[in-house]
Structure 1
């Protein structure tokens, strides 16, 4: 596999599999030699955002229904040969064509047809495939990564660094600056889904229009909502294994009619923070209290004891298993919106039980 350095070297071998940290640089100058871009991962907002960037980079008229063919994976499931037909159709008025498929999973027919297209690429055609989280080495992802004609772009929930960059870019473009308290608050209340995070930041920019500095009160007024306190209650119960507290907090959250997606995003952010802190703890040999006290970005003072307790319970491996479970839960709940609440509750309860057993 090509290294990250090769991405910017025109003379290097073509890259078929990008690492998560290489994707943004690739998107600034996509490899025009590829005919297929597979954008996949648990962060559906980021998958969609990057799919749009790739579509714009092709130069194809996205508003022309003859040049740009938009398909849903469900359409292809009921008509498996349609993708092949569309791929090898010559445009009525000539010019390049774009086929843009969304909501792809591990459908065998779709993977087989894409593999056939990669082996015999049509002229003047680009194919963008937006998919959920795909396992390495099997199905669609394997087919693309083994082909010189395609490239895979993974999309995972923003870590602390990526989230900070998104915040910096948004407010820099708006000519506004953030107070330290406002930044901390924002970092704790967005994340997990890139598109949702960007929407919250843009809403705050509009709310604070004309203000040079955005304060904590402004951030709370724009981003905060009635469920923010219950977010912390539920997440704290999950990471510390307090089953009774979890039942009470989750019931209060559900009774309030709140959307579980932001709650899942908050849980993902918390476990991402624990992952970083636990790695520092194991590397330095310091106590949980020392690691939390020196954390960057800082942990709110009121939550330090909770985070310390969680760090003393969770191993790095356990944290990553919990993150994977939460990311799978986000995907499952989006596939069936009617079951979002029970799916979220089941996943969070399972992680709480796992934490309780670590006492």
Structure 2
């Protein structure tokens, strides 16, 4: 079977042999798909800047012209020893899968084929053809994990001659993900901002990275827990005026209350302190929020947390029944909980 596990792909690309002439790079992370396809192409022995040696094709066009990929692959190069066929935007095109089946059965002698595809499910014709071939390789690309994120951060900052504080790294890692190229772009932007200063601090990351709407929702939830009515109004208004719905804040608070319930139950059953409960939480509480969470645990018992959670769940239901009043309903419920926090209930 010509396929790798997701965690094996980078190692294979580093040592890839010249014997593999057909590669399918697929997955939901389009930035990672593009980056890995480029890495493979750079080692194909072809000048990527030579238009006579590289044919860049779109899968949608190939689907309209069955057999074209075969013709391109079997064309004898006139100005170089080898040609690279680079196909982008592949999905479940039937004719492309048929052409690939023929190519895998008789690999081209003078061409290398790399295909960038989306999230192909197991059993999809194109993926099945490549995975079953001896002369081809399928490379899955999924969202980066924490180790991969650290690698991206280290690569970009090393090239810029910068270091990063541990707290800043933790927040930056939290703000990245979903798309490899977008993540690299965020780190590169941060490196440019901090150029000449030697090190990146927590405030730099807060100022330069992260999604604005997500940040507003997180700030609104934290302000509710802290009982900071002014900060809540500011963050909630920014959220409500953005592209996201008020439900984002309700959902964020709902998740936080569920997490608090688990930690508070552990405190009440074992006699543990709020600090111990937070330290033992899984997934871990983000370092910058630990004092806030500890204060909430000390302020509210399990019964109160259950009451708040029930109120939030009822509000979610009401916003679905009356979407025209969603912002007002959410604001009222969240304000009531923030007032309870401020009074130390």
Name the TM-score class by shorter chain.
0.5 to 0.7
**Hey, what's the Cα distance between the residues in 1 that align with 2:21 and 2:43?**
12
1:222-241 equivalences under 5 Å are 222-224=208-210, 226-230=212-216, 232=218
**Hey, what's the Cα distance between the residues in 1 that align with 2:194 and 2:138?**
38
Query: Which structure has the bigger radius of gyration?
Result: 2
Aligned positions, number:
256
**Hey, what's the Cα distance between the residues in 1 that align with 2:99 and 2:292?**
51
Q: Is the 8 A contact 1:41 1:154 kept in 2?
A: yes
Deviations 1:257-297 (A, max 9, x none): 58xxxx9xxx9xx9xxx9xxxxxxxxxxxx98564278397
Q: Secondary structure of 1:191's partner?
A: coil
Deviations 1:74-115 (A, max 9, x none): 111221221111111111234100000001001111011001
1:52-91 equivalences under 5 Å are 52-91=38-77
Among candidates 136, 153, 158, match of residue 144 of structure 2: 158
Query: Which residue pairs with 1:301 in the alignment?
Result: 290
Among candidates 18, 22, 34, match of residue 8 of structure 2: 22
CA gap of 1:113–1:58, structure 2 versus 1, over 3 A, is: same
Among candidates 181, 200, 207, match of residue 186 of structure 2: 200
Q: Is the 8 A contact 1:292 1:299 kept in 2?
A: no
> Is 1:179 the equivalent of 2:168?
no
> More displaced, 287-296 or 182-191?
287-296
TM-score, structure 1 length as denominator?
0.64
Query: Which residue pairs with 1:282 in the alignment?
Result: none
CA gap of 1:75–1:171, structure 2 versus 1, over 3 A, is: same
Q: Secondary structure of 1:61's partner?
A: coil
Query: Which residue pairs with 1:40 in the alignment?
Result: 26
Q: Secondary structure of 1:204's partner?
A: helix
Q: Is the 8 A contact 2:175 2:211 kept in 1?
A: no
**Hey, what's the Cα distance between the residues in 2 that align with 1:254 and 1:71?**
43
**Hey, what's the Cα distance between the residues in 1 that align with 2:218 and 2:63?**
41
Please state how far the C-alpha of 1:226 moved relative to its aligned partner.
Answer: 3.9
**Hey, what's the Cα distance between the residues in 2 that align with 1:84 and 1:234?**
56
Q: CA RMSD in A?
A: 3.2
Q: Is the 8 A contact 2:74 2:110 kept in 1?
A: no
Q: Is the 8 A contact 1:293 1:299 kept in 2?
A: no
Please state how far the C-alpha of 1:171 moved relative to its aligned partner.
Answer: 1.9
Deviations 1:32-72 (A, max 9, x none): 11110110000000000111111111121112222100001
Among candidates 133, 152, 176, match of residue 147 of structure 1: 133
**Hey, what's the Cα distance between the residues in 1 that align with 2:37 and 2:197?**
33
Please state how far the C-alpha of 1:303 moved relative to its aligned partner.
Answer: 7.6
TM-score, structure 2 length as denominator?
0.66
Please state how far the C-alpha of 1:134 moved relative to its aligned partner.
Answer: 1.0
Q: Is the 8 A contact 2:44 2:112 kept in 1?
A: yes
**Hey, what's the Cα distance between the residues in 2 that align with 1:153 and 1:226?**
33
